[in-house]
Amino acid sequence: MTFEKTILCIGAGYVGGPTMAMIASQCPRCRVTVVDINPERIAAWNSDNLPIYEPGLDELVRATRGRNLFFSTDIEQGIRENEIIFVSVNTPTKSFGLGAGMAADLQYWEKTARQILEFSESSKIVIEKSTLPVKTALAMERILNCQENGIHFDVLSNPEFLAEGTAVRDLEHPDRILIGSRETDNGLKARQTLVDIYASWVPKERILTSNIWSSELSKLVSNAFLAQRISSINAISALCEKAEADVTEVSRAVGMDSRIGPKFLNASIGFGGSCFRKDILNLVYLCRNYGLDVVADYWESVVKINDYQQERFIRNMLGAMFNTLAGKRICLWGFAFKANTGDTRESPAIFIARRLLEEQAEIVVSDPKALGNARTDLTGVRGQIRYVEDPLQAAEGCHAIALLTEWDLYRNLDFPKIFDSMAKPAFIFDGRNILDHRRCFDIGFNVYPVGKPPLTHFLEER
């Protein structure tokens, strides 16, 4: 079969894999190849056991793999044979040198750019899919077009807005697709090529085009705004706990203002995930770089509140459990950074687990999809850790349950049985406010939600 367009994606991660599977599924006349330097990852993409858990992804890959979707480790051949190249490699926060802990580490990116230059035998469109600091495309363009050999590269920015756990739905029905390009003849032509691909399934009015820097910045700003909402409600949750207000009632009342809207106002143990913290710190670094210290401080406070919220959760546990956790067994329900994913990157559970171990508690980690990643995250951490998938078994003999991920399965468990199996007094710290607190209290638990008065059987607190 001859294909109308040939597409390569470098980086087979949480973004590259699902996005390319969706393009392959919606554009049967495109051949899509996904490459990665990690051979185990590629082997997993070619197996029945995909390297990431995402509802609907197995079906999508099964329908397209071997038809017009291919996974390979041959990056060189991939670059040579394809005319459109998405770059979706990781861009972690720099851990060394200038900007350490703040700026994006662009070494994988630059390596990829140099590889594209080395192996290309014809002109190509290169698309930034990874979230990158503003003006990275310019650097990419400079590296790619530094030789006078008749080969030309057009660099586009096409940030991905999918959220994990809902990636397939987000890819199929995106709020918007954003494509940034240079506003030259070549740039506009390349932009149109990408618009045409998305127009196979995305309504035209949802495909936005812009200049390349606006596109890069929009991605950082979208994530910063989302994270800011969470930090705003989490800051208010601290006040609610002191003022005996209920943060769920406050967020409902506030969110019904149509100018504010109801989404992303759930108080929690703080946001995790590979994007929010990294992107805000990137934005902060960018602002400082331009001498905008007041702006940088403003955005940095979003991260500070997030750190504060996680530490506050530990302090609430300590305070409730008579100021010592030493020797107590605490069960963590959930380790993923959110429900419906096995991803634990930047999960608040990592910080909470470490802090509990520092307080010399024993922990039992439970999660339906993230236990493998949890083991990796806690490798080398000192203390007593057990991993038990079944939430009931995990809670057995524990002094407390800390609910850290809002998995649906935790809502309707046999709580009387769980209570009977635990050490007394038994505590539940609901870091996601998803349980029926009154019911748990009536069963006998001492219940500590986020941003609401606790329900306890201790006389002095009632």
> Is 331 annotated in the active site?
no
From the candidates 27, 30, 240, 275, which is the catalytic residue?
275
Residues in CB range of 327: below 8 A, 6 or more apart: 360, 361, 362
Q: x/- contact string, 80-109, with ligand ADP (CB under 6 A)?
A: --------xxx-----------------x-
For residues 285 and 291, give the distance between their C-alpha atoms in angstroms, rounded to a whole number: 10
Nearest C-alpha neighbor of 401 from the set 429, 376, 367: 429
Could you say whether residue 231 binds ligand ADP (CB under 6 A)? no
Residues in CB range of 170: below 8 A, 6 or more apart: 161, 162, 163
Nearest C-alpha neighbor of 23 from the set 163, 193, 154: 193
Residues in CB range of 419: below 8 A, 6 or more apart: 426, 443, 444, 445
Residue 328, φ and ψ in degrees, nearest 5: -85, 150
Q: How many chain residues are in contact with ligand ADP, going by CB under 6 A? A: 20
User: Please, what is the minimum distance in Å from the beta carbon of residue 92 to ligand ADP?
Assistant: 8
For residues 272 and 231, give the distance between their C-alpha atoms in angstroms, rounded to a whole number: 12
Q: Which is nearer to ligand UDX, 305 or 422 (CB)?
A: 305
Nearest C-alpha neighbor of 103 from the set 124, 79, 132, 125: 132
Q: Which is nearer to ligand ADP, 112 or 366 (CB)?
A: 112
Among the listed ranges 10-18, 194-202, 218-226, 452-460, the one in contact with ligand ADP (CB under 6 A) is: 10-18
Could you say whether residue 128 binds ligand ADP (CB under 6 A)? no
The residues in 34-73 that bind ligand ADP, with binding defined as CB under 6 A, are: 36-38, 41
89 binds, among ligand ADP, ligand UDX, none (CB under 5 to 8 A by kind): ligand ADP
Please select the residue that binds ligand ADP; options are 7, 11, 165, 349, rule is CB under 6 A: 11
85 binds, among ligand ADP, ligand UDX, none (CB under 5 to 8 A by kind): none
Nearest C-alpha neighbor of 350 from the set 273, 238, 447, 449: 273
Q: Which is nearer to ligand ADP, 14 or 337 (CB)?
A: 14
Q: Which residues bind ligand UDX (CB under 6 A)?
A: 160-164, 223, 226, 230, 264-266, 268, 271-273, 275-276, 337-338
Nearest C-alpha neighbor of 369 from the set 407, 395, 331, 402: 407
Nearest C-alpha neighbor of 418 from the set 405, 433, 403, 407: 403
Could you say whether residue 209 binds ligand ADP (CB under 6 A)? no
104 binds, among ligand UDX, ligand ADP, none (CB under 5 to 8 A by kind): none
Q: Contact positions toward ligand ADP, by CB under 6 A?
A: 10-16, 36-38, 41, 75, 88-90, 108, 111-112, 130, 274
Catalytically annotated residues:
275
